[in-house]
Amino acid sequence: MKEFSALSDQTKIYICCMVVFLICSSYYSYRNYNSMNNQLKIILILLSLGSIFLAYDRFEKNRSFNHLMGNFEMTRGKVLKVFISNKTSLRGGSARNDITYSYLVGSEHYVTKNIENEYIVIPNITPKTNCDYIVIYQKGNPNNSILLLNYPVNSSEDLERYKEIFKDKIPEDAIKQD
């Protein structure tokens, strides 16, 4: 229950809707099992398995975000590629903006892609690719990271100033809040 209460409101609503769907489809299947044709049985099984997978995926993404927020370090990162979707999907994928970036943690080089979601806002204007930005990553799991486009790093003084701002916790304007 403690894990569930730590989730974002959107994730809680999503998981509750999936649970209600599972309960309703299970009840319908139980009451009408003998009169249902095989195609409907297969469709309900696939939809039930899909809803379980989607709910678990949403839960894990939210949990990894909470781990990042509770135990983070920061470094500088460089934007490699930006996709601005203009809210219509032309490439057959998501209609959300995404950004690919690289950063160093110790001597390890990481390349990560963030897709716009309930925490990450990627503006509809392409950010500058010739300057660095702050990257926050989870201690012990540097692959769990977020590039903060509203914190450009133009000099080492900027980085030190941001370290002082982020010393105790991540500021409210860094991550989109519920």
pLDDT value, residue 93: 53
Q: Do both 77 and 157 map to the same domain?
A: yes
Q: Do both 41 and 98 map to the same domain?
A: no
Half-sphere exposure of 158 (CA within 13 A, CB side): 12
Q: Which residue has the higher pLDDT, 55 or 87?
A: 55
Query: How do residues 46-80 score in pLDDT, each as one tens digit?
Result: 988 888 898 888 888 888 888 888 888 888 899 88
Q: Which residue has the higher pLDDT, 94 or 30?
A: 30
pTM reported for the whole predicted model: 0.73
Amino acid of residue 31: R
Q: Which of 69, 96, 116 is the last residue of a domain?
A: 69
Range of the domain at 126: 72-165
Q: Which of 48, 69, 90 is the last residue of a domain?
A: 69
Q: Do both 117 and 139 map to the same domain?
A: yes
pLDDT value, residue 90: 55
Query: How do residues 91-118 score in pLDDT, each as one tens digit?
Result: 555 567 788 899 999 889 999 888 777 7
The tokens for 54 are 């989607």
Q: Do both 77 and 65 map to the same domain?
A: no
Q: Which of 25, 51, 69 is the last residue of a domain?
A: 69
Half-sphere exposure of 4 (CA within 13 A, CB side): 7
pLDDT value, residue 86: 64
Going from the C-alpha of 33 to that of each of 29, 40, 43, 60, the distances in angstroms are: 5, 10, 13, 33
Q: Do both 7 and 41 map to the same domain?
A: yes
Number of domains the chain contains: 2
Query: How do residues 116-159 score in pLDDT, each as one tens digit?
Result: 777 777 777 777 778 888 898 988 888 888 888 888 888 888 88
Structural domain includes residue 78? yes
Q: Do both 59 and 83 map to the same domain?
A: no
84, pLDDT greater than 80? no
Write the DSSP symbol of residue 128: P
Going from the C-alpha of 25 to that of each of 38, 44, 45, 176, the distances in angstroms are: 15, 7, 9, 35
Q: Do both 30 and 115 map to the same domain?
A: no
**φ, ψ for residue 93 (rounded to 5)?**
-105, -145
Structural domain includes residue 56? yes
89, pLDDT greater than 70? no
pLDDT value, residue 111: 92
